[in-house]
């Protein structure tokens, strides 16, 4: 995340400069928007709130009700994140294919 977020402008500028293709540049922007926004900000970042409860469960400091709640939250997060990661992979593959097949 940090590398993508901190170097995004440089990645976009490099692709725009070397490939000189609006389609490739646009698809890269869309990929990064999706990765940083939809996948990370919406679905991964909120998982930070489950670190403490997971640690409590792991260390035996949580009761059965807390364990069930943490388990349910994780299952929901995985169920919601899985199709987004698949879509992210498809978008990544498309951009890489375009970068490989486009002439500079």
Predicted confidence at residue 103, as pLDDT, reads: 60
Residue with tokens 């978008």: 91
87 pLDDT exceeds 60? yes
- Helix 22-33 and helix 2-19, axial crossing angle in degrees, nearest 10: 170
**Stated pTM of the model:** 0.86
Q: Which of 77, 79, 102, 96 is nearest to 31 (CA)?
A: 96
Span 31-48, pLDDT tens digits: 999 999 999 999 999 999
Q: Tell me the DSSP string of 43-54.
A: IIGGGGGGHHHH
């Amino acid at each position: 995340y940090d590398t993508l977020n901190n170097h995004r402008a440089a990645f976009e500028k490099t692709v725009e400069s070397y490939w000189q293709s609006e389609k490739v540049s646009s698809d890269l922007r869309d990929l990064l928007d999706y990765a940083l926004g939809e996948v990370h900000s919406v679905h991964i970042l909120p998982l930070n709130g489950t670190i403490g409860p997971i640690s409590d469960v792991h260390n035996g400091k949580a009761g059965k009700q807390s364990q069930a709640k943490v388990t349910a939250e994780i299952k929901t997060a995985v169920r919601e994140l899985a199709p987004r990661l698949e879509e992210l992979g498809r978008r990544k593959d498309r951009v890489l294919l375009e970068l490989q097949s486009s002439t500079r």
